[in-house]
Structure 1
Amino acid sequence: MRRFVLAAMMFGAVSSAQAADMPDFLRGSLPAGPAPTRNWSGWYAGGQVGYSWTNTDYGKTVVSMTNDLFRSTTLQAPVSQLTLLGRVNGQSPAFGAFVGRNFQFDDIVLGVEANYNYLSSLATSTAASLGPIQVAEPTLVLPAGATAADGVTLKGSAALQVKDEVTFRGRAGWATGDFLPYIFGGLAVGRMDVTRTVSSSVTRTINFANGTSTSFQLPQFALTTTDGRSNNFVAGWTAGLGMEYMLWDCVFLRGEWEYIKFLSIKDSVVTQNSVHAGIGYKF
């Protein structure tokens, strides 16, 4: 056993000596440790392209309008429960830019960023009709044994376009080698155009006790109303995740997914998913 230990010690000493005598260019070609983490701290800016998908919920878009049409009548409440329009999907390419500031603490990178995207054709529209929906009229003064009901018919349409948007984000990432995976969240503001129209008509039917009936239009409810606004600034919130790769000393590539939900505008609600690819420069 003693001989084995002595042999191992002599082998180690000879190997160390040979390594010390090895030429510099050979020693430099040996594998080194892991690459040092990049310095991501500082200001940065860049440009990006992407694609966005929206889902616009028009389910309540005309409710406030029908409430006005049937204001202070027995039809207001039941008509407000009807769903005339539904959900519609839209999509569009996007082009934009970003600027931000990183603060690095060892491998942790925190930051703030402003991000802008122009959407060339992110628009949705829908149109539908409903009815006649029969609504009983128990408050009318009628002959004995007679009943009455109003047949309500609605026709409506709506359209919405997201023109562009800006987000103000807080970021948190983990620097590992040339890569920076990160998550973000913050405030979103979109610029939108929206229009909506609804028409109503009501046919009253009275059924008598002898089995006969009569129907007639109620002209006070033969109405159409239109509402719209352009260049509305609509707030919302954003969240997502991404990855940056330092291509050269100060140039980096990025890819990310982003989710935005906007507040209601004219009783329409827009949610959006986007993917972005960009290139930036760290100052």
Structure 2
Amino acid sequence: MKRLILSSTFLVGFAHTSFAADVFAPQDTAVYNWSGVYVGADAGYGWGNSTQDFDGIDYNVPLDPKGWLGGLYAGYNYQLSNGVVLGVEGDFNFSDIDSKGVRGISAGVDDPTFSYGSDLKWTGSLRGRLGYAAGQFLPFVTGGLAVGRYENFQTAAGVPYSHTNTFTGWTLGAGVDYAMAEHIVLRVEYRYTDFGDKHIVDPVWTDWNVDLSTNDVRIGIAYKF
């Protein structure tokens, strides 16, 4: 959570400094060019679909975490003469997307014996982007590789136990950038990410499988060089 607060603080400070330096710069919106390198910060809210299934028994845990995220992104755009914008972008976000006190379901009935939870600690991605320049607006779609660090934990007979793994999958999204000044670009974006699933060989409990996918909505601000 401290990392999330630091990311949000950076976002506010960055916006204030850049806004004061650049927002009143003269700009011809008809010929705005999106080509160039940019760096930014974002924050948002995410919700996930995640199930933990145990091998050989009719027992599953609907984890479904949700919460806030925040971090940094950077990329490069190249605008073609017909207005099409091609780009590449990477991002890294600390996350507070978690679940706690979840009961398992055995043969369709809640099991009060065990308590489960999960925590998506961080996420990152490397993506391509395709957009169309419409003056100060750049609607875009994006997609590529995604990774995330996901912890699953449980308590049995008062004894806590956890298992953390790095998941690798893919992400797709869409959004719009808005050039409010020559070097200041605001963003609203939706992203769907499928982190895939992992089979966990557990030396303490029964082996199990866990999957994770997330949806999130983000707002961001970037400085375009």
TM-score, length-scaled by structure 2 = 0.73
Counterpart AA for 1:116: F
Which of 180, 184, 189 is the matching residue for 1:251? 184
Residue equivalent to 2:163? 229
Residue equivalent to 1:94? 69
Alignment RMSD: 2.7
User: Deviating runs (4+, > 4 A) in structure 1?
Assistant: 153-157, 196-199
Counterpart AA for 1:104: Q
User: In the alignment, is residue 272 of structure 1 matched against residue 206 of structure 2?
Assistant: no
Counterpart AA for 2:64: N
**Residues 86 and 228 from structure 1, CA distance in 2 versus in 1: closer, same or farther, beyond 3 angstroms?**
closer
Counterpart CA distance in 2 for 1:35 and 1:190 is 38
Could you tell me how far 1:36 is from its partner in structure 2? Answer: 2.0
Q: Is the contact made by 1:154 and 1:198 (CA closer than 8 Å) also made in structure 2?
A: no
Deviations 1:57-86 (CA, angstroms, capped at 9, x unpaired)? 12x2x21xxxxxxxxxxxxxxxx2x43124
TM alignment of 1:156-171, pairs within 5 A: 157-171=115-129
Counterpart CA distance in 2 for 1:183 and 1:125 is 37
Deviations 1:235-255 (CA, angstroms, capped at 9, x unpaired)? 111001010000001111000
Residue equivalent to 2:173? 240
Larger Rg over CA atoms: 1
Q: Is the contact made by 2:104 and 2:116 (CA closer than 8 Å) also made in structure 1?
A: no
3-state SS of 1:235 partner: strand
* Paired residue total: 184
Counterpart AA for 1:54: G
**Residues 155 and 85 from structure 1, CA distance in 2 versus in 1: closer, same or farther, beyond 3 angstroms?**
farther
Could you tell me how far 1:196 is from its partner in structure 2? Answer: 5.1
Which of 10, 26, 39 is the matching residue for 1:45? 39
User: In the alignment, is residue 36 of structure 1 matched against residue 25 of structure 2?
Assistant: no
**Residues 166 and 235 from structure 1, CA distance in 2 versus in 1: closer, same or farther, beyond 3 angstroms?**
same
Counterpart CA distance in 1 for 2:112 and 2:41 is 47
Q: Is the contact made by 1:40 and 1:109 (CA closer than 8 Å) also made in structure 2?
A: yes
Deviations 1:98-152 (CA, angstroms, capped at 9, x unpaired)? 0001111120001110111111242355333637xxxxxxxxxxxxxxxxxxxxx
Structure 1 gaps of 5+ residues are 1-33, 64-79, 132-152, 200-224
Could you tell me how far 1:55 is from its partner in structure 2? Answer: 1.5
TM-score, length-scaled by structure 1 = 0.59
3-state SS of 2:30 partner: coil
Could you tell me how far 1:47 is from its partner in structure 2? Answer: 0.6
Counterpart AA for 2:120: V
Could you tell me how far 1:159 is from its partner in structure 2? Answer: 2.6
Structure 2 gaps of 5+ residues are 1-27, 201-208
Residue equivalent to 2:14? none
Residue equivalent to 1:172? 130
Which of 101, 109, 112 is the matching residue for 2:88? 112
The answer to which of 93-102 and 156-165 deviates more is 156-165
Could you tell me how far 1:162 is from its partner in structure 2? Answer: 0.3
Counterpart AA for 1:118: F
Counterpart CA distance in 1 for 2:129 and 2:214 is 20
Could you tell me how far 1:37 is from its partner in structure 2? Answer: 3.8
Q: Is the contact made by 1:45 and 1:99 (CA closer than 8 Å) also made in structure 2?
A: yes
TM alignment of 1:62-81, pairs within 5 A: 62-63=54-55, 80=56
Counterpart CA distance in 2 for 1:192 and 1:84 is 21
Q: Is the contact made by 1:235 and 1:262 (CA closer than 8 Å) also made in structure 2?
A: yes
Q: Is the contact made by 2:61 and 2:103 (CA closer than 8 Å) also made in structure 1?
A: no
Residue equivalent to 1:85? 60
Counterpart AA for 1:229: H
Deviations 1:197-220 (CA, angstroms, capped at 9, x unpaired)? 789xxxxxxxxxxxxxxxxxxxxx
Q: Is the contact made by 2:34 and 2:77 (CA closer than 8 Å) also made in structure 1?
A: yes
**Residues 236 and 129 from structure 1, CA distance in 2 versus in 1: closer, same or farther, beyond 3 angstroms?**
closer
TM alignment of 1:142-221, pairs within 5 A: 157-195=115-153
